[in-house]
Chains A and B, each alone.
Chain A
Amino acid sequence: MSTTIAPQSGGSKERVRQDKSQLNWRQRRGQWDVKYSPYLYIAPFFIVFGVAGLFPIIYTAFISLQDWDLVRNSGEYIGFGQYNWVLHDREFWIALRNTFSIFLLSAIPQLVAATVIAAMLDQNLRARTLWRMGVLLPYVVAPVAVSLIFSNMFGDKFGLINTLLSDIGIDPILWHTDIIPSHIAIATMVNFRWTGYNALILLAAMQAIPRDLYEAAAIDGAKTVRRFFSVTIPQIRPTMIFVIITATIGGLQIFDEPRMYDQTGTGGANKQWLTITMYLYNIGWGKFNFGRAAAVAWLLFLIIIAITLMNNYLTRRFVSGEDAVKKSKKTSLKLTAKGGK
């Protein structure tokens, strides 16, 4: 700290205005300190990121241009051949379709349910902590265990759900044959695990809402439902957006549940529930074609960037309330310039 202050106390105002080349060594060092030490302080993060994040990304890009041999750790440069192959592969597009379908089937019901559960937990309940712990319980169960249990329940012939369905006279659903039922089954596993988690995050946001808003609304004659839509929902928007973004990233990388959904883990006989990460894994560790797997990894990277940018855009549009003004001046300025609130 003391060195940071040194140049100011050491140099008079005149000398600061003087040409830089006339500064002595001590002063120059002090100036560098002010200029560069902040970068030094944040360097550890970026060094770790460079080694553990950036390097693999770049190395993956390098491998994706090769016909790569994992065991010999060498490859032959073939340009964009791998990308070309992947983009012309039927399975890639099916995997993309499945990923988005499972994502939508899981994210939307999950967020709706989480918001409703959070709102209920926000009431004055008896044994409040018990209920709150209760909704988090599924999150503690390992994804693979969840998948094993649910895969068993969703068995085509001897599964619990089909047995119940046939007991009440409904035809059994072919969970492992038809596309949409298989997506629903997998989305159910995701929802089981993540709804409670999201509910707790939203609950935390709801608890931060000033109670006087509710009182004022009540005095104005707003009933419970009206208060929920007009006070609670607008107030938890920023948290909602955080939850949506994490759900999006998780949804695009969904792997454990579909992989454990049947015994082979390759996404079904007609790739009904093959997701993009499973596709990547099958090419890499199933077929030992790491060049091609690296190309898929990069395509997935680009897809996630595109979705994140889209999210970012929607967020700016979406958060147009007072929060936005507090949080980001730029955004609010832009919006006021456009005639927004």
Chain B
Amino acid sequence: MSLSRRKKTLGMAAGATVFALTLAACGSSDPADDTTEATETTENTEPVTLTVATFNNFGYTEELLQEYMDLNPHVTVVHNVAATSNDARTNYFAKLGAGGLADIEAIEVDWMPEVMQYTDFLADLTDPEVEGRWLDWKTAAATDPDGRLIAYGTDIGPEAVCYDAALLEAAGMPSDPDEVAALLEGDWDTYFEVGQDYVDATGKAWFDGAGGTYQGMINQVEAAYENPETGEIIATENPEVKAIFDQLTAVTPEISAHLSQWSDDWFAGLATGTYATMLCPGWMLGVIKGAAPDTTTWNVADVFPGGGGNWGGSYLTVPEAGDNVDAAKALANWLTAPEQQLKALAAAGTFPSQNSALEDEAALNAAMASGEAPTNAEFFNNDSLGTIFSNRANAIEVSPFKGEFYFQVNDAMQNALTRVEDGSQDPTTSWNQFVTEVEGIG
């Protein structure tokens, strides 16, 4: 059943390749002229309506989509936005096999372990045109074991350190971004030691909570919870995981604000100067600004303990059951081209995963300084945000393996850390409960 359908689609794909390629070609080069020509010369321009389903804010503004419709007069683009990624995830997996998804469906990197089990429902987006468009690890994460590219990368979340300059100053510490970067340069021990100095000087907390910090640490481990070869859960025996747990629980009583990420208290803490630093991916800037619009002292330092780290990011997929797979591919290609991603960055702060966009620091800085939504540069007293996050993206060396059980194990670990943070258990008890819980998974 599925085999015959696949063959049919392949045949159709072959027939329409020329069309797709001409369309795709305009994504990277001078868009306006080429496409109008291409659409005029190609006979195959029956009117199509393409639906694009995203969530939160991808930065795909009306103007951006209109631009595509102007370039391709036979295409009408309908944009559906789900309120939260959770709603979108439920919808995605409920309809992936049964049918009824949009022509282009956005997915979050967090769903990748599950999506990878069902790549036969997704169109193969491999295209010589897009080769080398994205950072290697971004593409690798969207390539299934058969070598099919099933998703085009949109944004990434390279992590830097955000800090409250006023608090550091009050503690008699440097507060200029370059000085802070120099101060924190090093591994996690350095970050925690500086934190201890800060706490000694002020009696206030250094970072927000164990959860977010742990996420930054564990994302630097190549195979934390599962064996990439066998898929077997190794979380409880992996010395690296235990080492991070021990290192973190040793320092949290002193230097953590004990706030769990996204809780009401955590948001309130952002605005009230409860903690001095937090690990922050590019998209976190919008969160900080939204939660603490009246503060003026948050800033970003071009540094991350232990090298680099990525948190979050999304992709566009094209479900194979759709009616207009080829037209959808062309649109996904266009939307994820560097030019469009820079516009999305200006509109919604979604930091590009495309190599050529990352190299163009001037454009990145300009995009983060302009745009209606964030105007982050001004808020963060920093006009080189683009440069900072581009450097942070290039510092990422490890692409952690996330298998089928990654999120269940990670949840159990986050809960274990919270139990230590809120004082309900000591680290040993909490670790033992984590081990029991992980053994029950499966």
A residues sitting closer than 8 Å to B (CB atoms) are 70-73, 89-90, 151-152, 155-159, 174, 176-178, 262-264, 266, 268-270, 285, 287-288
- The answer on a CB contact under 8 Å between B262 and A263 is yes
Residues of A within 8 A of B414 (CB): 269
Knowing A72-B97, A177-B422, the reply to whether A152 touches B408 (Cβ < 8 A) is no
Q: How far apart are the CA atoms of A72 and B121 in the complex, in Å?
A: 10
* A262: nearest chain-B partner, CB-CB: B263
One of B6-14, B135-143, B166-174, B265-273 contacting the partner: B265-273
Q: How far apart are the CA atoms of A285 and B274 in the complex, in Å?
A: 35
- The answer on a CB contact under 8 Å between A155 and B265 is yes
- The answer on a CB contact under 8 Å between A174 and B440 is no
- The answer on a CB contact under 8 Å between B93 and A288 is yes
Q: How far is the CB of B53 from chain A (nearest CB, A)?
A: 17
- The answer on a CB contact under 8 Å between A270 and B419 is yes
- In the complex, the 5 A-B pairs of residues with the closest C-beta atoms, listed nearest first: A269-B418, A263-B262, A158-B268, A71-B97, A269-B415
Knowing A70-B94, A158-B269, A158-B272, the reply to whether A176 touches B262 (Cβ < 8 A) is no
Interface residue B425 (Cβ < 8 Å from any Cβ of A): yes
Cβ contact of A155, chosen from B96, B264, B274, B423, cutoff 8 A: B264
- The answer on a CB contact under 8 Å between B264 and A285 is no
Q: How far apart are the CA atoms of A71 and B12 in the complex, in Å?
A: 25
Residues of B within 8 A of A178 (CB): 424
What are 18 residue pairs bridging A and B, where the CB atoms are less than 8 Å apart in the complex?
A71-B97, A71-B117, A71-B121, A89-B440, A90-B436, A155-B265, A157-B259, A158-B265, A262-B260, A263-B261, A264-B262, A269-B415, A269-B416, A269-B418, A269-B419, A270-B415, A270-B425, A287-B408
Q: How far apart are the CA atoms of A263 and B268 in the complex, in Å?
A: 14
* B412: nearest chain-A partner, CB-CB: A269
Knowing A71-B96, A71-B121, A158-B265, the reply to whether A269 touches B90 (Cβ < 8 A) is no
Cβ contact of B114, chosen from A156, A174, A177, A288, cutoff 8 A: A288
Residues of A within 8 A of B419 (CB): 269-270
Q: How far is the CB of B173 from chain A (nearest CB, A)?
A: 24
Interface residue B98 (Cβ < 8 Å from any Cβ of A): yes
Q: How far is the CB of A75 from chain B (nearest CB, A)?
A: 13
Q: How far is the CB of B312 from chain A (nearest CB, A)?
A: 16
* B274: nearest chain-A partner, CB-CB: A157
Residues of A within 8 A of B117 (CB): 71
Interfacial residues of chain B within 239-274, with CB under 8 A of chain A in the complex: 259-266, 268-269, 272, 274
Q: How far is the CB of B97 from chain A (nearest CB, A)?
A: 4
Q: How far apart are the CA atoms of A78 and B94 in the complex, in Å?
A: 23
Q: How far apart are the CA atoms of A89 and B424 in the complex, in Å?
A: 21
- The answer on a CB contact under 8 Å between A263 and B97 is no
- The answer on a CB contact under 8 Å between B422 and A269 is yes
Q: How far apart are the CA atoms of A73 and B121 in the complex, in Å?
A: 13
Knowing A157-B259, A270-B425, the reply to whether A70 touches B264 (Cβ < 8 A) is no
Q: How far apart are the CA atoms of A157 and B121 in the complex, in Å?
A: 46
Q: How far apart are the CA atoms of A71 and B93 in the complex, in Å?
A: 6
Residues of B within 8 A of A262 (CB): 260, 263
Count of chain B residues near A, Cβ 8 A: 36
Which of B411, B422, B425, B436 has the most chain A CB atoms inside 10 A of its CB? Answer: B422
- The answer on a CB contact under 8 Å between B260 and A263 is yes
User: Told that A73-B97, A159-B264, A268-B415 touch, could you supply 15 new A-B pairs with CB distance under 8 A?
Assistant: A70-B97, A71-B118, A152-B264, A155-B263, A155-B268, A156-B422, A157-B265, A158-B265, A263-B260, A263-B261, A263-B263, A263-B264, A269-B260, A269-B418, A288-B93
Q: How far apart are the CA atoms of A262 and B263 in the complex, in Å?
A: 6
Q: How far apart are the CA atoms of A156 and B269 in the complex, in Å?
A: 12
Cβ contact of A177, chosen from B121, B264, B268, B423, cutoff 8 A: B423
Q: How far is the CB of A284 from chain B (nearest CB, A)?
A: 10
- The answer on a CB contact under 8 Å between B424 and A270 is yes
Q: How far is the CB of B441 from chain A (nearest CB, A)?
A: 9
Residues of B within 8 A of A151 (CB): 264
B214-251 interface bits toward A, Cβ cutoff 8 Å, 1 = contact, 0 = none = 00000000000000000000000000000000000000
Residues of A within 8 A of B424 (CB): 177-178, 269-270
* A179: nearest chain-B partner, CB-CB: B424
Residues of A within 8 A of B433 (CB): 270
* B118: nearest chain-A partner, CB-CB: A71
Q: How far apart are the CA atoms of A158 and B267 in the complex, in Å?
A: 10
Q: How far is the CB of B259 from chain A (nearest CB, A)?
A: 7
- The answer on a CB contact under 8 Å between A70 and B93 is yes
Interfacial residues of chain B within 107-161, with CB under 8 A of chain A in the complex: 114, 117-118, 121
Q: How far is the CB of B129 from chain A (nearest CB, A)?
A: 30
Which of B262, B264, B272, B440 has the most chain A CB atoms inside 10 A of its CB? Answer: B264
Knowing A155-B264, A288-B114, the reply to whether A174 touches B422 (Cβ < 8 A) is yes
* A157: nearest chain-B partner, CB-CB: B265
Q: How far is the CB of B74 from chain A (nearest CB, A)?
A: 33
Cβ contact of B264, chosen from A71, A158, A270, A288, cutoff 8 A: A158
Residues of B within 8 A of A177 (CB): 422-424
Residues of B within 8 A of A263 (CB): 260-264, 266
Cβ contact of A176, chosen from B93, B411, B416, B422, cutoff 8 A: B422
Residues of B within 8 A of A89 (CB): 440
Q: How far is the CB of B438 from chain A (nearest CB, A)?
A: 13
Q: How far apart are the CA atoms of A198 and B261 in the complex, in Å?
A: 38
- The answer on a CB contact under 8 Å between B259 and A73 is no
Q: How far is the CB of A155 from chain B (nearest CB, A)?
A: 5
* A72: nearest chain-B partner, CB-CB: B97
Residues of A within 8 A of B423 (CB): 177
Residues of A within 8 A of B114 (CB): 288
Residues of B within 8 A of A264 (CB): 262
Q: How far apart are the CA atoms of A152 and B114 in the complex, in Å?
A: 33
Interfacial residues of chain B within 410-437, with CB under 8 A of chain A in the complex: 411, 414-416, 418-419, 422-425, 433, 436
Residues of A within 8 A of B97 (CB): 70-73
Q: How far is the CB of B106 from chain A (nearest CB, A)?
A: 18
* A148: nearest chain-B partner, CB-CB: B264
Residues of B within 8 A of A71 (CB): 93, 96-97, 117-118, 121
